[in-house]
Chains A and B, each alone.
Chain A
Amino acid sequence: MTSDFNFQHPPFDQLDSSQRQLLLDQLDIHYFQNQEKILSAGQESQFLFVILKGEVEERADNNDEIFAHYTLDDCFDIRSQFGGYCKHDYVALEECLCFALPSKVFRQLAEVNSDFADYFQNDLATRHQLVESRERNKNLAEFILTTIDESNVQLAVVIDGDTSLYQATKMMREQKLESLLVDYDGCIGMLTGTDLLHAAVLTQQSLDTPVSQLANFNLISVEQGEFLFNAMLLMTRNNIERVVVKQQHKVVGIMEMAHLLSLFSTHSHVLALQIARADSIDELANAAHTLNRLIENLCNNGIRTLFIMKLLATMNEQLIERVFRLCVPEQHHNAICLIVMGSEGRGEQIVKTDQDNGLIIEDSYDWPEREQQLQAFSDALLKLGYPPCPGKIMVNNPAWVKSQSDWTSTLDSWVESGHGDAAMNMAIMFDAHAVAGNRSLLRKLKRHLIQAMHQREVALSFFARPALQFSTPLTFLGNVRNEGIDIKKGGIFPIVHGVRAMALEQGIEQTNTLERIEQLKQAKVIQPEHAANLSEALLLFFKLRIQQLSDKTESYHHIDVANLQRGQRDLLRHALHVVKKYKQSLAHHFQIRDY
């Protein structure tokens, strides 16, 4: 019995052992037949139900609207627990076994344990925080509990004690090493770059001095198999940057502070350096490959979604900028502006997305090698693993390479027509973000677009309309099980596009959706608490998508709800409600009827 009630998930994990016992003592188990009505609208609730088996549907009492589905470990009906009546009917979709906790006991627990109560009374933003803060602790714990093994030790290069200062320096430089081990008659010493520098510059030793005179033989070491954390403590305590890793008195490698820290922050700064230093497409390809691994690593380590997205956006931007510099000579850069669009423009991609890019050229700037160089740029990106855009929104397509005045007139024609492709292109262009070249070219164009749309209510209303076209999949556990939901259509797109339309209306120049929401909040277009919930909902969708990605499922827009943990399912349900409410307010805001 004790093992059946799941205390792993919030909010029940907040209860202490005596409160858990109280809860267990007061539970009953109720059985419901298929299609049996468990709670009726207007009824006062006597129990909080936690599902042990089966599925339950929450629907309006006139049967015409379905609000939510509940399954294993979900609880209902929370609203009516704090006095008040059930707002909807709850019906068993199949046979159900539910734990029934008397409402009286539930309220008693909520009274004595404020953390437990908070969970039910908080809005999405706070609830999300509760879940994430716990996950973060887990990550830290994982880091601390990692042990030193082959995968995180750097192999040490051992040189003979007679090697000269000059040779050692050359070797370090060629092999890009920070330190060497020196074998001097069986004694092992450490030689670092700093040691060499001191010897050569400060004490001005001759270049053929044997390194055995420079190395430090007083080594501090850790055993392989010890905790990483201990290695870190050892270095901090002794104020050193590296320790030797030994296995049964034999040196197996070196552990450096920088490397150790990067195991935690997973190479992000190293990668940025790698990109900045690259002189060829091949070197960049290397960096691009590392980027993929980095993202995977970060996801697996459960780093915050926002951080991953920002990091990926920055890295991608640097990569693309670097490629552009390598393909298009510097002299042209002042007269042109490379822009990225779509999710990349908004800085919201979580994988390396398609190449969505275009070019703005100053009026009457002559540049004969333009076509080959742009083609080379597109090819190089392809080589780096950015697949071509299916819609051909790429700089090797003349439709997306235009002079400033051509762009202006194109924008005008889009605004004028306002339908289908034109609206889509407008949306793409409005998300554009300058990556390389003269950024003011894009700024001017955007201002023009905002100006053109200013006060055109009908056009704006048409523009916003697609945000409402997909229904919000609140019934995600419908009778067809394992169908899952399309998180892009159901959650991300309505928010991104709705916010985009509002930003266009308000003349907000930011491209990132979260930043747009912030600006809209400051412009008092969206109320603060709605803004917070909207941002959290969007972040949650991104996060779920990232998780999906690491699960290696075929489509990462597709969320398999049944496999989510209860806490996350709860959040998802809440977030989809936020989307639904937002769509209603969007319809109202832009006067869209009959969508």
Chain B
Amino acid sequence: MLLRGLYRQLYSHQQRHSPYHYLYEPAPVGELVALDFETTSLKASEAEIVSIGAVKIVGKQILHSQRLDLKLRPGVRLGATSIKVHRLRHQDLQQGLPPQQGIEQLLEYIGPRPLVGYNIAYDFRILKRYAKQLLQLQLVNQLVDVGQLYADRVHLPHEGMPANQDLAHICDALQIPLSARHQAYDDALNAAMIYLRLQFGPRPSAA
């Protein structure tokens, strides 16, 4: 936390004349962005982003009307296994944006806001890699992992028992309607709902 603050100041100074300076300003109070990527691989170091879903959370509202739902043109052929997971074939993505343009749009949308997601650290690692390679930028956004948030909040019957952080389980426990999964935007929206529920609702209990 402290380290992130220091880095933020450092980059803010480095980028003081660049158009990306906004990334290092203080985040607007009460605003976050729920984010999810569909990628070509599960390895953060080599995964390519095929689609981006992001939605702003302002206070207790999810701004679906201002959502970001993008498809990116991948550089390499898609692996057969990943096609099965997110159902985006190579030809579906030829209409997609060039990666650099997509990432620029996404960064502009996110700004300095904290990122919310399920397993968000994974998505953030990929985003950092893209930002560094394409735009020579270092990202310092705060992260809120809804799985972790749930584990922190949930009331467990026994001390020290690990919480079930499975997404389907969380949605079920919080009675959040789980929409068709494995589409970036749906997953982001889902994370946003879980976040609001955990942030403002009563403490859930593991049944």
Q: Which A positions have Cβ atoms within 8 angstroms of B?
A: 1, 3-4, 25-34, 52-53, 95, 97, 100, 102
Contact = CB atoms under 8 A, between A and B. Distances in A.
A574 B177 CA distance: 28
Most A CB within 10 A of own CB, among B64, B186, B189, B201: B64
Interface residues of B, number: 21
B177 A53 contact: yes
B180 A28 contact: no
Contacts of A27: 64-65
B197 A28 contact: no
A4 B62 contact: no
Nearest to B183: A1
Given A25-B65, A28-B65, A29-B64, 20 more contacts: A1-B185, A3-B179, A4-B179, A28-B63, A28-B64, A29-B62, A29-B189, A29-B192, A29-B193, A30-B62, A31-B197, A31-B200, A32-B60, A33-B201, A52-B177, A53-B175, A95-B200, A95-B202, A97-B176, A102-B65
B175 A31 contact: no
Contacts of A26: 65
21 contacts: A3-B180, A25-B65, A27-B64, A27-B65, A28-B61, A28-B63, A28-B64, A28-B65, A29-B61, A29-B62, A31-B60, A31-B61, A31-B62, A32-B60, A33-B60, A34-B202, A52-B177, A53-B176, A53-B177, A97-B177, A97-B197
A33 B61 contact: no
A31 B196 contact: yes
Contacts of B60: 30-33
Contacts of B62: 28-31
Contacts of B177: 4, 52-53, 97
A34 B200 CA distance: 10
A26 B197 CA distance: 22
Contacts of A29: 61-62, 64, 189, 192-193
A52 B196 CA distance: 14
Contacts, number: 55
Contact of A95 (B61, B63, B179, B197): B197
A4 B65 CA distance: 15
Interface of B: 60-65, 175-177, 179-180, 185-186, 189, 192-193, 196-197, 200-202
Given A30-B62, A31-B60, A53-B177, A1 B201 contact: no
Contacts of A97: 176-177, 193, 196-197
A440 B189 CA distance: 73
A1 B191 CA distance: 12
A28 to B, nearest CB: 5
A268 to B, nearest CB: 44
Nearest to B69: A1
B200 A33 contact: yes
Contacts of B180: 3
B173 to A, nearest CB: 13
B202 A1 contact: no
B71 to A, nearest CB: 15
A75 to B, nearest CB: 17
A510 to B, nearest CB: 50
Nearest to B175: A53
Contacts of A3: 179-180
A3 B180 CA distance: 7
Most A CB within 10 A of own CB, among B61, B197, B202: B61
A1 B184 CA distance: 11
A4 B193 CA distance: 13
A577 to B, nearest CB: 30
A323 to B, nearest CB: 55
A91 to B, nearest CB: 15
A31 B196 CA distance: 7
Nearest to B53: A1
Contacts of A1: 64, 179, 185-186, 189
A30 B61 contact: yes
Most B CB within 10 A of own CB, among A31, A34, A52, A95: A31
Closest 4 CB pairs of A and B: A29-B62, A31-B196, A31-B60, A30-B61
Contacts of B201: 33-34, 95
A102 B186 CA distance: 21
Most A CB within 10 A of own CB, among B65, B175, B185, B196: B65
Contacts of A95: 197, 200-202
Contacts of B185: 1
Nearest to B185: A1
A131 B185 CA distance: 34
